[in-house]
Every structure is written in C-alpha cells, then in structure tokens.
Amino acid sequence: MKEFIQSLLILSALLNSTTGAVVMAYHRVGDRITLLMPMDGTDKNTIYVYWYFGEPETNILVISLNPYGNQGFGTDERWKGRVSMTDYSLVIKGIQEQDFTETFTCVIKQDLKTIATKKYKLTKITVSVKPETSVLAGESLSLACKVQSPQNNAQLQIHWLNPQREKRANGPTPGDLTVDKVTGRHNGEWTCVVTSGGKESYAKISVTVLDLSPAPLYPQYTSLSRSTRLNIPCSIPAPLSWKNFKEKGLQGGHWSFVPRLSPGDRQRLFNLSVEDKLTWKVEQERGLSASDPEKKELSLSKKGVTEADRGEYVCALEFKNGVTLERSIHVEVLEILSSSGLEIPAGQQVNLTCSLGQPLHADLQVKWIPPKSWCLPSLGPDPHPARLTIPEVVDEDCRRWGCELWRNKTQLTSADITLKIAPMSVWLLVTICGATVIFILLLILTVILLRRRRQRKMTPRHPKHKFCRCKNPKPKGFHRS
C-alpha cells in the first residue's frame, strides 16, 4: 500500500512537471533572487535535487542536495560564495551579466529516476533615471524601464509605481515615464513592474529630489501672552544633506517677511551664507533668532510677540541655475480686545473680543475662560462667540479673563487679559464735588423762590388809590378827587 501511494505521488509530480517549458524571470544586475523548485507533493526525504546552469547534459552543476541534507557544489568558480539552497530552492545573490546567458535547470530525482524538471530564463531589466544624481523640486524627471530581448512581447506589460505605491501612466513608449515639476513627494524608491503571463517582476531605483521640508498645512498660531513663544519652521528633510544641495549649485538663502497690513512691503530678515560654513547674517532686527543651519535647521523663533508679527514668512534657498526653493508660513496672533480698555469704571458695560485681527475662519472655535468666581451668561445660539459682553462691570469681573482658540479637538493657542476697576482721579473728584455744590445751591435757591411765592399768595391785597391831574391845577399840584 505504501509503495502504491508513493507511485501516485511520483506520477503526480511527473504530470505537473514543467519539462520543456521555460519560466521567464525578470531581474536587474546585482539583485538577489530565489528560483523555486517543483515539489508538487513529492516526499522530500527521498529525493535528490540538482541545479544546473544550462542543460543538464553540459554538466555545469551549480549546487545539489541529497535526502540527508548534504549540499554539493560545482567546480565552476563563478558560483563560489554566491549560491545556496533554501527548502530546495536556488538562491543567488548578486546577479551578474553572465547569469543572463543560459537557463537555470532544476532536476529532481528519486531512485535514480528523473521525476521532474523546471527551467528558468533570466531576462535583464534595466532601469535608469535622468538626472542621474538628483533633481531640484520644480524640475522634470525622466524614468526608463527596458527589458532585454523579451519573449512573448505581446503579453509583456510595463508600468511604474511612485514612492507612495501609486500606479503612474507611461509615456508614448512602454516603460518610459516623465514627471513634470517634481516635489518632495517624488523623493524615494520608484518601482518598475514587468508583468508577463500573469506574474509580476519588480525593479527598483532610488530618486533624490532636493526640496525643503513641507510647510505646515495651517498657519502658526501664537498670542500676546508673555509665556508664548513663536516658532516658524523650515528645515532640510532628514535623508538629504547640504552636500546634495551644494552639488546642484546652492548659492545662498534668505528669510523674508510680508506684513499683513502692508502686503506690498516685503522685508528681508536674514541672509544665508554658504561659503565655508553656513551662517546667518541679520538684515533686520525684529527680535527673531535663527536656528543653526549646519544642523539642517533653518527655523526662526521669537519670544514676546506683538500684533506687528502677523503676516507671511518666506524661507528660501537659491541656486545658480535660477531655481529658488521656497516655503511660506503664515503667522496669526491671538489677542483679547476690550471695548473700554483695561481700567473700566464700575457699572459700565464692556465687550471683550477674541481676535486674530481679521474674521475667524469657519473651522475655528473660541472658548472663553472666565474668572473662577464668575459664570458665563447664556451665550445665545452661538456656543463659541468671538465676542463676549459683560453688562455691568463689578469687582468680581475685574480679574484675569482668557480665551482659547480651537480647531476641532486641537487647541491652537490662548490669550488672556486682566481687567481692573478704574480708580477715581482728583479732577473727577473735584468735578463730582463741584457738581454736588451746584446742585445744593440750585436746590436752596429753588426752595427760597417757592417760599416767596407762597408768601405772596397768602398776603391780602388792598385797593389801589387812583390819582389824576386837574385841568386847572392848584398851585400846590395834585389833589384828591
């Protein structure tokens, strides 16, 4: 029974063997490859495996393995140190040009009988990139993938995968690809995929794109709070070095600033010297400090931010061929504005506004932080208003107020303000006293006038005597009639 099952296994191996068929394997010079042997259920403990370069009749043995696990090597020096067997499969490291000249044949024997063979033909893939060294962001990149003397050319398909493993369409010629205006996203490993008979082979090539690190997707938010520090990022990506940039003709760099209120006024802040050692030269003093460029850091920082720091900061590297690499970083400064200043008379209404100096974007929210002893009033339909009204200022209101700026669940920055009850000045006291005296005097005068009028009404009236002048007056003048 055991011999019958063994015979069936041998028959199955014979029926499934690939005798006469050649499997195409597409590789690059220098690749490490693995050529699989046809097992098909054959008992490994009873077989002998031989790998030949060319036909078995040529007797150019590469490597062999017996049922006892002993490996044998051919006498040809070309394979020394380059071949091994893993689970009866042939492993070759460092493919050479000569390995493409003949087929590799796997022969499986059992009881001195050949039960299966399998042939592989290595076909060379050549991939190239222009420029060969590196390419500046904004320039064009050309990739080429060529297959040497392909068989079944009608069934052969070639396409490229970018570093994000996305398929890119070929140009007019299969295997040729041109990328216009490359960016840092194109930096990395590109893969040429050769498809034949439903099987894929891969050839990879590295592309170096010189560019600055990506700028933040959103503005940099800071505030007028003393503890807040403004950071404006700009750097060289980790895989790159200044040597790569100098080889492409780096001649300098700079930082510039465009104020929000004066968009036409571009101010040069720093200049980068690349002579012997990379150093910054200050062009305009704005309280900013620059990072050490030798460490591939070009960032700026500042403590003590003001409203004048709002605007666009531009980090740039300049090259001899006229190409300039730039990154723009927008800076927004948060502050709390009081409609009545910081010192407010008691009982007066005041409006507090959490402001960036312009209307807030729809994706931004404001959260007010009142004094601990104070409760926010009903905020109406908008739960996060940028403007808050205190109807009548009292002593409890005159403390530290804060507002936080949020995007979704991320706090961007915060600002605070301290309100005070305004003390009465000497002139205000004199004015109040003067007004009080005048009011009292007017009140006394009013009382006197009212009393006199009342007395007049209570005094009885006497008839008035009439006097006339006679036509013939007496010498003494008037007389009573």
Beta bridge partners of 89: 86
Rounded to whole angstroms, the Cα distance separating 451 from 103 reads 136
Distance of CA 261 to the CA centre of its chain: 26
The answer on pLDDT for 277 being more than 80 is: yes
The answer on pLDDT for 332 being more than 90 is: yes
The answer on pLDDT for 130 being more than 80 is: yes
Q: How confident is the model at residue 4 (pLDDT cuts 50, 70, 90)?
A: very low
Q: Do domains 2-123 and 339-421 have the same CATH topology?
A: yes
Count the alpha carbons within 13 Å of 366 in the hemisphere toward its beta carbon: 24
Domain boundary assignment for the chain: 2-123, 131-210, 220-333, 339-421
The answer on pLDDT for 253 being more than 90 is: yes
Question: Per DSSP, which regions of 382-432 are E strands?
Answer: 387-390, 400-407, 410-418, 420-421
Superfamily of 339-421 according to CATH: Immunoglobulins (2.60.40.10)
Q: How confident is the model at residue 8 (pLDDT cuts 50, 70, 90)?
A: very low
Of residues 408 and 466, which shows the higher confidence score?
408
Q: How confident is the model at residue 6 (pLDDT cuts 50, 70, 90)?
A: very low
pLDDT average, residue stretch 171-182:
89
The answer on pLDDT for 16 being more than 80 is: no
Q: What is the pLDDT of residue 68?
A: 86
pLDDT average, residue stretch 209-219:
93
| 3-state secondary structure at position 198 | coil
Angle 326-327-328 from CA coordinates, rounded to 5°: 120
The answer on pLDDT for 12 being more than 50 is: no
Q: What is the pLDDT of residue 138?
A: 92
pLDDT average, residue stretch 176-181:
93
Identify the DSSP state of 133: S
The answer on pLDDT for 132 being more than 70 is: yes
The answer on pLDDT for 116 being more than 70 is: yes
Pair of tokens at residue 27: 């590789």
What CATH number belongs to 220-333?
Answer: 2.60.40.10
229: phi then psi, degrees, rounded to nearest 5: -120, 130
Please tell me the pTM assigned to this model: 0.70
Lowest-pLDDT range, 134-143, 205-214, 464-473? Answer: 464-473
What CATH number belongs to 2-123?
Answer: 2.60.40.10
167: phi then psi, degrees, rounded to nearest 5: -75, 135
Lowest-pLDDT range, 298-312, 376-390, 440-454, 458-472? Answer: 458-472
Helix (H) or strand (E) holding 448: helix 426-458
Q: What is the pLDDT of residue 447?
A: 83
Pair of tokens at residue 136: 């500046």
Peptide bond into 423 cis (omega under 30): no
Taking the alpha carbons at both ends of the chain, their separation in whole angstroms is 180
Average pLDDT over all residues of the chain: 83
Beta bridge partners of 121: 24, 103
Give, in words, the CATH class of 131-210.
Answer: mainly beta
Asked whether 203 and 192 are in contact (CB, 8 A), the reply is: yes
Rounded to whole angstroms, the Cα distance separating 143 from 131 reads 9
| Amino acid sitting at position 473 | P
Pair of tokens at residue 217: 């997707």
Asked whether 251 and 322 are in contact (CB, 8 A), the reply is: no
Q: What is the pLDDT of residue 299?
A: 96
Q: What is the pLDDT of residue 154?
A: 63
pLDDT average, residue stretch 145-166:
82
**In this structure, how many other beta carbons lie within 10 angstroms of the beta carbon of residue 49?**
23
Q: What is the pLDDT of residue 448?
A: 86
Give DSSP secondary structure letters for 206-225: EE-EE-PPPPPSSPEEEES-
The answer on pLDDT for 468 being more than 70 is: no
The answer on pLDDT for 101 being more than 50 is: yes
**In this structure, how many other beta carbons lie within 10 angstroms of the beta carbon of residue 244?**
16
